[in-house]
Structure 1
C-alpha cells in the first residue's frame, strides 16, 4: 500500500488507564475494542505503532477485591502483578481480530538509566516492528517502586518515543486536549489550544490533575512528557481517545484533532539520554565564564572552569553541571572520577573534563 503524505512511519501511542476502565476497576470491553481499532487503522495507513499502556493496576483491583485504588505500596504491586496478565490477554485477543500480533515488554526506570540496557530495549522494540509485531510496553509495576508514583506512563511514553526516534507521540486521554481554561469539578474546558509552539511557564500553569479510580497523573504529567519528547525531536499530539474517529497528524500544516506540541530546538539521541535518562552520580560547579562557553559557545568543559566537585563518581558517569548560584544548566559524561577531578582542578591543568559531544544543555 502506498503511504499517505500525512503518515508518520513510526509512532508511539500512549493509552491511559482511564480510557480502558472508564475510571472504574476493570477494563471496559467497548473501550478496548475502539482503541485497538484506532491502532489497526494506523497500521492500515502504513504506520508502525508502539503501544505504551497503563491499566495493569486498575485491571488487578477487582481480582484482589479492591473497590478503590489502594495506597499501600505492596497492595499496588500485587494489583499490578494480577492485572498485567489480564491486560495483555485482552490486548492480544483484540489485536488478533484485526490480524495483528503483539508482544509484551516490561521495563523499569533502571532500564533507561543504564546506557547498554537502554540500547538493548531500543533494539528489541525495532526488531519487533521489523517483524510486524506491536510492542506493548508498560512499566513493571509489580517490582518498580518509583513507577507507581510516575504519572500514568505519560513520561514513559515520551522516553520510549525518544529512544526509538519516533516520528510522533500520540497521548490519548479522555479530554480533547489542552485548554486555555479548565473546570476540574465539572470536567469541562474552554478555548482548546490546537498547537503549542513552546512549553512555557504559562502553558505549565494550565495543567490540572485527575481524581479517578485506578489512575494517577493528569495534564501536568502530559505536559512534562511533551517537553521530554519535543526536546528529543518528537512532536506530540494530545487527543481524546474516546472519539470514534480521530484525525492524527504531527505537523501544523496538516489537519489534526487535539493539541499538537511542536518540535523546536532539539538534541540528538545520545545527548537526550545524557540529559533525560542517565542516572546522575554527582555535581560539578563551574564559574560564569565556563557556563557561557558551554551554553553559547558550544565548547567542552575544561578543568580551569571547575570550581567545585560534589559526590562520588567515576569516569564515564553522568553528572549535573551547575553555576555558582546552584542552578543546574547542563549534564555531561565526565572524563575523570571525582577524586581525579579534584586533583586536576588543584593543578589548574587545562584538561578536558566533559567533551562537548557528551554534554546536554538543559532548559
Structure 2
C-alpha cells in the first residue's frame, strides 16, 4: 500500500569521514532507492544534510565552523553544489526534484505552517521529490531546528507522513555506542521511548566530525514523530536500499512504534512545531481535569508561573514535580497570569479591570504530552 515517507540522511552517511568528499556511491544508491519508491507509488520527501560539509570541502576548511555567521556562509557555498549533485543523479533517472529550505519560523507561524503544508502537498501530487534542508543562510540562533533529525520529524508531522527513516552511521540503536563498546546489545523494537531510560540505554551526543547529530537527537526526533502517529526507523545510511526491505517487512534497523497523536492539523502544529516560551505549574486537580477529563486550564488550577510570554504564545503545562503533562496556547500574558493565578474565573474581570477569557488555555488549543496520553 503506497505511503508517505520522509527519509533523512546525515552528513556522516553522505561524506567520507577521512576526506570530507561526497560518498558518491551512497548518494547514487540513495537516489536509485528513492526513485524505486516513487515507482512503487510512495510519496517521498528527502531531508538531506551535507551543505556545510560540502561547503567546508569547497573552501578548504579542516573543521566545522564554530560561529553561526561562518556556518551560514559555508552552507551558502555548499547548498548549491549539493543540489547540483542531486539534480544530476535524479535527472539521469527522469525523476523531478525540488529544493525546499525551511526555517523554524516557517513552522512556528501558523499561516506559514499552512502554506508550507500546501506546498509539500502540491509537490507530492506532482510526483516531485522535495529535498529539504534548514535554511542555514538566514536562520537565527533562537529559531534554529538545531539538527536535521528534528527538522525531519517536524516535516513528517507537517505532511502527515506514515514513515520516518533516519539514516545514520550505525545500523540500528544499541545499548551503548558500538564504536566504543564492543559488547553493546542491538535494539530492534521500541514500543515506547520512555522504555529506553528504564533499560539504561546510553545515547551519547557524539556526532561525526562534520555532522551535528548523534543518537540523542535521533531519539528526540523519534519521540516527536511517534507522538504524531508516525512509524520511525533508525537504520544504516550507507545502505539506503534497506528502506525497501524494511517496507517489505524485514526486521532491519531499530523501529519505533507509532502512537495515536493529535488527529487535527492545528493540534499537531501546537504539539510539535511551536516553541514553548514559558511553564505553568498546576495543582493535582487541574492535572487530573486536563489529563483524564479533557478539560481546559483555568486560572484556579495554576500554582506557579515561569518565563515571560504574551497572549497566544505557547507554554508547557507541568505537574507540581515539573513533569510536562501538556502544552498549549495561552490567553493571558505572564504579567496577567501573575495577578490571577489561583483565582476563580468570575474574579478575573475585577482583578484585571477588564473582561478576559474564562480559560487560560482552552482545550481546543491544548495537546497532552505523549507520555500522558491514554493507552490503547
Deviation at 1:144, TM superposition (A): 2.2
Supply the distance in 1 between the matched residues of 2:58 and 2:12 (Cα, whole angstroms). Answer: 18
1:277 aligns with 2:277: no
- The structure-2 alpha-carbon separation of the partners of 1:260 and 1:248, relative to structure 1 and needing over 3 Å to count, comes to farther
Task: Please give the secondary structure, in 2, of the residue aligned with 1:208.
Answer: coil
In the alignment, is the contact (CA less than 8 A) between 1:112 and 1:118 conserved in 2?
yes
Note if contact 1:77-1:143 (Cα within 8 Å) is conserved in structure 2.
yes
Q: Which residue of 1 aligns with 2:367?
A: 360
CA contact (8 A) 1:168 1:250 kept: no
Q: Which structure has the highest strand share of the two? A: 1
1:11 to 5, 16, 20: 5
TM-score by length of 1: 0.88
Among 228, 232, 235, the alignment partner of 1:232 is: 228
Q: Within 2, Cα distance between the matches of 1:189 and 1:357?
A: 48
Q: Which residue of 2 aligns with 1:21?
A: 15
Local SS of the residue matching 1:264: coil
Who is 2:325 aligned against? 329
CA distance in 1, matches of 2:63, 2:341: 56
Alignment match of 1:297 (pick from 281, 290, 293): 293
Name the structure 2 match of 1:194: 188
Aligned to 1:219: 215
Higher alpha-carbon deviation: 268-277 or 161-170: 268-277
Note closer, same or farther for the CA distance 1:141–1:348 as it changes in structure 2 (3 Å cut): same
Q: What does residue 166 of structure 1 align with? A: 161
- 8 A Cα contact 2:104 2:143, kept in partner: no
Q: Structure 1 62/114 Cα, relative in aligned 2: closer, same or farther at 3 Å?
A: same
Deviation at 1:148, TM superposition (A): 11
User: Residue in 2 aligned with 1:106?
Assistant: 101
Q: Distance in 1 between matches of 2:142 and 2:210?
A: 14
Q: Which residue of 2 is the match for residue 128 of structure 1?
A: 123
SS of the aligned residue for 1:280 comes to: coil
* Partner Cα distance (2:329, 2:365) in 1: 5
Q: Which residue of 2 aligns with 1:319?
A: 315
> 8 Å contact 1:312–1:338 — kept in the other structure?
yes
Structure 1, residues 213-248: CA drift from partner, whole Å, max 9, x if none? 311211111111101000000010111122274154
CA distance in 1, matches of 2:143, 2:365: 31
Q: 1:75 Cα deviation (Å)? A: 2.4
Answering whether residue 35 of structure 2 is matched by residue 40 of structure 1, we say yes
Distance of aligned partners of 1:14 and 1:294 in 2 relative to their CA distance in 1, 3 Å threshold: same
Farther off after superposition, 11-20 or 309-318: 309-318
Equivalent position SS for 1:301: coil
Tell me if 1:31 matches 2:45: no
When structure 1 is superposed on structure 2, of 328-337 and 213-222 the one drifting more is: 328-337
State the Cα deviation string for residues 150-189 of structure 1 (Å, max 9, x = none).
5641111001001100011111112211123433337x67
SS of equivalent residue, structure 1 residue 255: coil
In structure 1, runs of 5+ residues without a counterpart are none
Q: TM-score, normalised by structure 2?
A: 0.85
Deviations 1:226-281 (A, max 9, x none): 01000000010111122274154778x93342111111342334223223321324
Q: 1:212 to 1:149 in 2, by over 3 A?
A: farther
1:97 to 68, 92, 98: 92
